Chain A
Amino acid sequence: MENKKIVVADDEIHIVQVVAMKLRNNGFDVITAQNGAEAYELCINEKPDLLITDYQMPLMTGIDLIKKIRTVQELAALPVIVLTARGFAIEEDLQEKLNITKFLSKPFSPKELLAHVEHSIGQTAGK
């Protein structure tokens, strides 16, 4: 069975690296991006099974990225996990409106993130 493909986008290179390593160690294919625009291109070209994105990123924020991919028919139902270090609560209706699977606050546990990834994609990746 082919590995599930995940796009990870965060302008913090260390976060991207640690998330990618955790997911790769658990059998996922990971493609990384450091801004929203780059992540959008990857989503269009790679058709991933899941998107993990930071909330606040240069060039295009995570929310703008999600809004944009929701306009693409093939990506309209793509599961999305948002990582956020924001000080205030996320607007309640935003999660429902943009069909965001999970908001995860920073600092986060890579283990916890992995559990959410496995839950979102629907099955545990084969190692």
Chain B
Amino acid sequence: MLKKIHIFITGFAGICAGLIVLLFTDGLNNIELVGIACCAGGAVWLLRYFYTESKTLIGRLDILERDYKLQREKIMQAVMEAKDYKLQAQLLKRQKHNTEAIIYSINDAVIVTDINDRLLLANAQAGEILGFDANNSVLKLLEDLVSDSDIVNLIKKSRQGKIRDVRHELEFETKEGPRIYECIISCIFDENAQICGAVSVLHDITREREISQMKNEFVSHVSHELKTPLASITAYAEMLVDGEASDEKTRKEFYSIIQTQAQRLNRLIEDILNVSRIESGLVKLNKEPISAMLLVRDAVQMIKSYAAEKQIEVEEKTAIVFDQVLGDKDMISQVIINLLSNAVKYTPENGRITVDGEVDESEQVVRIKVTDTGVGIPAEEIEHLFNKFYRVKANNKYAKGTGLGLNLVKQIIEKLHGGRVFVTSSVGKGSCFGFELPLMAQKVTV
């Protein structure tokens, strides 16, 4: 800087000195030449000053421009980053909404808690099961919200134990009564593998438990039902082999028992197989024009010996005008036999069973009704009667069974033949089970 001032002053002084010399001299002589030289030297020094000054200025301008560009880039970058943050924030917000929407739409109860067991998120199902307001309970301690200490302690234990995934079975009292839930608690870990909370999912397994229980009971019932006739067959066969039946009459009686028990066994196996076949759609129907009335007559004859064991009278009131329906003879027979054998099972000794058959011209159906003087069915159980494996608890003591017979009746009549089953009952007085099948156009009179 000092150097530049020096050049400027020297140049300026040279020009001034040259001009003074030229002003006070007259004519071209050596002194005037000195003045001109001083002016020229001063001018050179001044030019030199301006030249260095301009270079500095250009350099400064360059730096300024570079700085400006740099700043502009930085600003642009910052703007871009800001935009990116905004986008990311929007994305996060959207993701949060989506996650919440997913959680709220799950049928299972979902509870998300933080490291201090405070509620972060819970869907309505969770609130309903555990009895708190899912919308206004965020950041409240779970133990303050949920009265059931089991689940609160389980979540706490899982979190403290840093267990990644744990399953428990819990029972809660709900509006619909006691329900069983499978409770899956999973700990949440952050990027540093530090635990930051827990997600608990409650899945209602009451129905599964009921089905499992029904299946177990079914296996037990089926086993019992299969073994019972088998026990008679085995025992009577052994008696015959060992010569314990001394006379021909006794032997014949034993043969007859073995035969009827074998038929009973076969009916049961057929029932089980038919339910399975119908359900899986594998049933092969052999539909032909048949008369339900005639099948009723055959079935009544078949059931009479079974009814006689309990001194039950079986009366048949079928119409003279025989119906014609399009059906599978074996299956419709099975339906009638199932209804008749049920009537015998649940009618006390010395009771009465009436079988009615009528052709309803106006409805274009044939209607078969089996009415007994049996134990009857409580009104609240009637709607469940045709469910698979369902057995009327109050009537279990009167007879054994698999809970398949009536389900099969319904499936054969309604699913396979387009008919309708019906039932009326009065406890202590008796029941009436029946079915309708659509008539074929043609009728045969005998």
Interface of A toward B, CB cutoff 8 Å: 12-15, 18-19, 21-22, 25, 56, 58-59, 83, 85-88, 105-111
Contact across chains for B309 and A13 when beta carbons are under 8 A apart = yes
Contacts of A15 in B (CB 8 A): 228, 231-232, 235
Given contacts A14-B257, A58-B399, contact A109 B224 (CB under 8 A): no
Q: List 14 A-B contacts (CB under 8 A).
A: A14-B232, A14-B235, A14-B257, A15-B231, A58-B398, A85-B224, A85-B228, A86-B220, A87-B220, A87-B223, A88-B219, A107-B227, A110-B244, A111-B242
Contacts of B224 in A (CB 8 A): 56, 85-87
**B234, closest chain A residue (CB):** A107
Q: Pick the residue among A22, A86, A88, A105 that contacts B239 (CB under 8 A).
A: A22
Given contacts A13-B309, A58-B399, contact A110 B220 (CB under 8 A): no
Contact across chains for A12 and B220 when beta carbons are under 8 A apart = no
Q: Pick the residue among A22, A87, A108 that contacts B244 (CB under 8 A).
A: A22
Instruction: Name the distance in Å between A1's Cβ and chain B's nearest Cβ.
Output: 23
Instruction: Name the distance in Å between A82's Cβ and chain B's nearest Cβ.
Output: 13
Count of inter-chain pairs, beta carbons less than 8 A: 71
Q: Pick the residue among A19, A56, A83 that contacts B400 (CB under 8 A).
A: A56
Bound CA span A91–B252, Å: 40
Contacts of A19 in B (CB 8 A): 235
Contacts of B230 in A (CB 8 A): 106-107
What 0/1 pattern do residues 202 to 238 of B give for CB contact below 8 A with A? 0000000000000010011111100110111111101
B397 within 8 A of A: yes
Contacts of A18 in B (CB 8 A): 232, 235-236, 239
Question: A14-B236, A14-B261, A88-B219 given. 18 additional CB < 8 A pairs?
Answer: A12-B231, A14-B257, A15-B228, A18-B232, A18-B236, A19-B235, A22-B244, A25-B244, A56-B224, A83-B231, A85-B228, A86-B220, A105-B227, A107-B230, A107-B234, A107-B235, A108-B234, A111-B242
Bound CA span A18–B232, Å: 8
Bound CA span A109–B222, Å: 21
Contact across chains for A107 and B231 when beta carbons are under 8 A apart = yes
Q: Pick the residue among B227, B233, B238, B399 that contacts A85 (CB under 8 A).
A: B227
**B225, closest chain A residue (CB):** A85
Contact across chains for A107 and B239 when beta carbons are under 8 A apart = no
**B222, closest chain A residue (CB):** A87
Contact across chains for A12 and B227 when beta carbons are under 8 A apart = no
Contacts of A108 in B (CB 8 A): 231, 234-235
**B221, closest chain A residue (CB):** A87
Instruction: Name the distance in Å between B394's Cβ and chain A's nearest Cβ.
Output: 12
Bound CA span A111–B243, Å: 12
Instruction: Name the distance in Å between A108's Cβ and chain B's nearest Cβ.
Output: 6
Contact across chains for A88 and B220 when beta carbons are under 8 A apart = yes
Bound CA span A107–B240, Å: 16
Bound CA span A107–B244, Å: 18
Instruction: Name the distance in Å between B257's Cβ and chain A's nearest Cβ.
Output: 5
Given contacts A22-B244, A25-B244, A86-B223, contact A106 B231 (CB under 8 A): yes
Instruction: Name the distance in Å between A20's Cβ and chain B's nearest Cβ.
Output: 11
Contacts of A109 in B (CB 8 A): 234-235, 238
Contacts of A111 in B (CB 8 A): 238, 242
Bound CA span A14–B234, Å: 11
Contacts of A56 in B (CB 8 A): 224, 400
Contacts of B233 in A (CB 8 A): 107
Instruction: Name the distance in Å between B311's Cβ and chain A's nearest Cβ.
Output: 12
**A108, closest chain B residue (CB):** B231
Given contacts A14-B261, A58-B398, A87-B222, contact A106 B238 (CB under 8 A): no
Contacts of A110 in B (CB 8 A): 235, 238-239, 244
Q: Which 8 residue pairs are nearest across A and B when measured between Cβ atoms?
A: A87-B223, A85-B227, A107-B234, A106-B231, A87-B220, A107-B231, A14-B232, A18-B235
Contacts of A86 in B (CB 8 A): 220, 223-224
Q: Which residues of B from 396 to 417 have beta carbons under 8 Å from A? A: 397-400
**A59, closest chain B residue (CB):** B397
**A61, closest chain B residue (CB):** B397
Contact across chains for A85 and B223 when beta carbons are under 8 A apart = yes
